[in-house]
A = this chain, B = another copy of it.
């Protein structure tokens, strides 16, 4: 069983894969990534994944057969195991826990060669509904304290399969970055009696120099102190602590702005690898006046990683104001947008 271990200095929990451990040879660069072969997320290959835990499909079709338009399955190689209770133990001065958790894959479309940037908005809505449905279901499991929804797009961003998919990890701990954000937001609230995220939204709308897109419910913008070039946040314009509290019109607006944002990034930067992740309030905390859920989109454009990891210190070579103006050159619309940089048809 995998193990959760806690850093004794700064208190960060880490998953250590104690089984299926990778040998040194696994890290030596391969000459070429294997192409082709069977895609377990395509129609007809449903038996190559663990049985589905959710799907959106016509009423007359059976589970684990074709016909679905969204399909959620347990990850075949999970980082955490779903059976058992999280038990905390000491090992001398160190702290650990057995690696209990859920690790699922949200297959975003039956189409193998498409990405959210080019999908119908309706389909993006369905992805968001699937995120929410799984959160609500897993929320019932009292072993879990946090659900992390994220997407790796492109090999360099960690995707091992090309077929469009997101992932979800339900955890018996709260990730460090989320803890820091809730603590920082609580501190700001303590002093100002205002939500720091609401204040950010207010200032961004007023200054209008870092905005990527906007609609009734959501704002997409590049943060003032962006760590990475073209880092973009999508946030609800109204104060909302929990992602799962999103309403029906909100889902449509989020689908639209998520697609617009990813489309602008794709056509400005030549379909770069990226990650996005949803930050929301941990289960154990009631809705608060200070924490505000949001999505962080992080294109992977620079390669200086270990340095940032080791210092928490980031050098961003493109000011967010400049990045915003480049992104603004790409039209929002459905039809083929002006492409600043030609992108190979994928």
Q: B317 and A21: CB pair below 8 A?
A: yes
Residues of B within 8 Å of A276, CB to CB, are: 310
Report the interface size for chain A: residues with CB under 8 A from the other chain: 101
Q: B311 and A177: CB pair below 8 A?
A: yes
Residues of B within 8 Å of A93, CB to CB, are: 196, 199-200, 203
Q: A14 and B158: CB pair below 8 A?
A: no
Q: Which A167-185 residues sit within 8 Å CB-CB of chain B?
A: 171, 175-181, 184-185
Give the shortest distance, in Å, between A211 (CB) and chain B (any CB).
15
CA distance A157 to B309 in the complex (A): 11
Give the shortest distance, in Å, between A320 (CB) and chain B (any CB).
8
Q: Identify the closest chain B residue to A204 (Cβ).
A: B92
- Tell me how many chains of this kind the complex includes: 2
Binding site of A, secondary structure by majority: helix, strand, loop or mixed? Answer: mixed
Per-residue contact bits, chain A 322-346, to B (CB 8 Å; 1 contact, 0 not):
1000100000000000001100000
Residues of B within 8 Å of A197, CB to CB, are: 9
A239 near B: Cβ within 8 Å? no
Residues of B within 8 Å of A28, CB to CB, are: 269-270, 341
- Asked, given contacts A9-B197, A17-B316, A316-B15, whether A309 binds B227 with beta carbons under 8 Å apart, the answer is yes
Q: A269 and B27: CB pair below 8 A?
A: yes
A107 near B: Cβ within 8 Å? no
A241 near B: Cβ within 8 Å? no
A-B contact pairs, 25 of them (CB 8 A): A5-B225, A9-B181, A9-B197, A10-B184, A14-B316, A17-B316, A22-B229, A22-B318, A24-B326, A24-B341, A27-B299, A27-B302, A29-B270, A79-B315, A94-B203, A148-B311, A152-B306, A152-B307, A156-B303, A178-B311, A227-B309, A228-B306, A298-B306, A298-B310, A308-B309
